[in-house]
Amino acid sequence: MNDPQFFKRAGAPTIADIVDWTGARAPEGADLSTPILGVAPLDSGARGDLVFLDNAKYLSSLGQSTATACLIAGKYAERLAPATMPLVCDDPYRAFAKALARLFPEAARPVSLFGSTGISPGASIHPDARLEDGVVVDPGAVIGPGAVIGARTVIGPNAVIGPHVRIGRDCSIGAHVSLICALVGDRVIIHPGARIGQDGFGFAMGPSGHQKIPQVGRVIIQNDVEIGANTTVDRGANRDTMIGEGSKIDNLVQIGHNVTIGRHCVIVAQVGISGSTELGDFVVVGGQAGLTGHLKVGSGAQIAAQSGVMNDVPAGGRWGGAPAGPMKEYFRRLVVLERLAAATVGTPASAAAVDPMKPGKQ
């Protein structure tokens, strides 16, 4: 049995197409008619493959690659083997992403898992729902009364779209997503299993028991947001939970009621953000970090992985640790702990600390 190829290449692009898509610069006089058949990691690229180098850690792999072309920074271009054409660009990783999106468009935006076009016979759509032209609905999906879904949006199998939900155009709603009490912009991707708009965790606690507080707000998701698999976003209690334009939220994230996330934030897996906390624009939160409620995190701030944030973070701040504080303070704590441990076990302490804010990518 042949191995299945899950993503089909779009057309038969050449190096000239890659240059056009990415703005990369090929060597003067180079033959740009060579076809690009696929993509590969730098260390295993073969003829027909496009590869990239973005991290100096992988410089040793340049000599191993026999790929047809490599997106690469100019300072490293001369290290490529003669068989590989350098395509010089300022940001090879971003250029590679652009090329991938054109080579394999179905991988960039989830499509119908059933291969549907239009409304599947197995879907349940309330007669009061309104679907614009080109909407695709897979089997088992349920769309409630008064829901409005924009053109070219895909609703995956067994997804549930609640009453009066609004979903914009060119969105992808994955399998088994539940989406209630929400307004969703254009070009939003919500991956399978996400739960959007369920009630937040609100109780008036007391010695006679815990009185549930009805959650009457909404979730508002602006344009170009992506939300990962099995992430939960609670609706507001008495105002809206907001996710700003262009923000990217990983898998298994918990966002509490009344949270406001600014534009173009990045929230990594297993983060928990408690109710009524506000994040400014371009905030980055590392994996497994936890933020308590009613905090303000300023624009451009970065929170290291596994941090416990219990105080407001200033704009542009780089915080880490539990309880979290400025990175210099966090590093000092690490060094002190190393020295204490070394004194206890009689081994030399290392003053070097790994920077947990620096992402690693190939």
Please give the positions annotated as active site. 257
Instruction: Compute CA 330 distance to the chain's CA centroid, rounded to the nearest angstrom.
Output: 27
HEC sequence for the chain = CCCCCCCCCCCCCEHHHHHHHHCCECCCCCCCCCECCEECCHHHCCCCEEEECCCHHHHHHCCCCCCCEEEECHHHHHHCCCCCEEEECCCHHHHHHHHHHHHCHHHHCCCCCCCCCCECCCCEECCCCEECCCCEECCCCEECCCCEECCCCEECCCCEECCCCEECCCCEECCCCEECCEEECCCCEECCCCEECCCCCCEECCCCCCEECCCCCCEEECCCCEECCCCEECCCCCCCEEECCCCEECCCCEECCCCEECCCCEECCCCEECCCCEECCCCEECCCCEECCCCEECCCCEECCCCEECCCECCCCEEECCCCEEHHHHHHHHHHHHHHHHHHHCCCCCCCCCCCCCCCCC
CA distances from 249 to 118, 194, 224, 241 (A): 29, 11, 11, 14
Place of tokens 């989830």: 110
- How many whole angstroms separate alpha carbon 121 and alpha carbon 125? 10
Q: 298 burial class (0-12, 13-18, 19+ CB within 10 angstroms)?
A: middle
